[in-house]
Amino acid sequence: MSKILRTNPSPILSAAVEYHGFIFTQGVVARNLDADAEGQTRDILEQLDTLLEQHGTDNTRLLQAQIWLKDINDRDALNKVWSAWLPENAAPARACVQAVMTNPRILVEIMVVTTK
């Protein structure tokens, strides 16, 4: 049976789960919730870089992204940072929706699936 590797597991979630060379991340939110949507997105992508690196991969291997915004009007701010972060011609399949966040200061949450 293939091994399932869980990164930083807690009673309710893991930061990432690796199985058969696929890495599924948690929904990542910014550490500094005082930042605007651009700042929160930048922080989230830095965290994702670190998490993917721990699993021996990076943003060139993205397969899918799910993005939640507190206010869909922040989509342009998100896309500015997101587009600069993505390698050329390596955009994943993606959903981006407005959602009620668990904390009203969270403006952006991003979850990705990648492969090694």
CATH number at residue 85: 3.30.1330.40
Residue 77 has pLDDT above 80, yes or no: yes
Instruction: Judge whether 30 and 39 are in contact, CB under 8 Å.
Output: yes
Q: Structural domain of residue 107, as residue ranges?
A: 5-115
User: Measured in Å, how far apart are the chain's first and last C-alpha atoms?
Assistant: 19
Please name the amino acid found at residue 13: L
Residues in the chain: 116
For the chain, how many structural domains are there in total? 1
The pair phi, psi for residue 11, each rounded to 5°, is -65, -20
| Separation CA 69–CA 81 (nearest Å) | 14
Q: How confident is the model at residue 2 (pLDDT cuts 50, 70, 90)?
A: confident
> What is the mean predicted confidence (pLDDT) over 10-38?
97
Q: What single DSSP character describes residue 116? A: -
| Separation CA 55–CA 46 (nearest Å) | 15
The pTM score is: 0.95
Strands 22-25 and 108-115: antiparallel
> What is the mean predicted confidence (pLDDT) over 48-67?
97
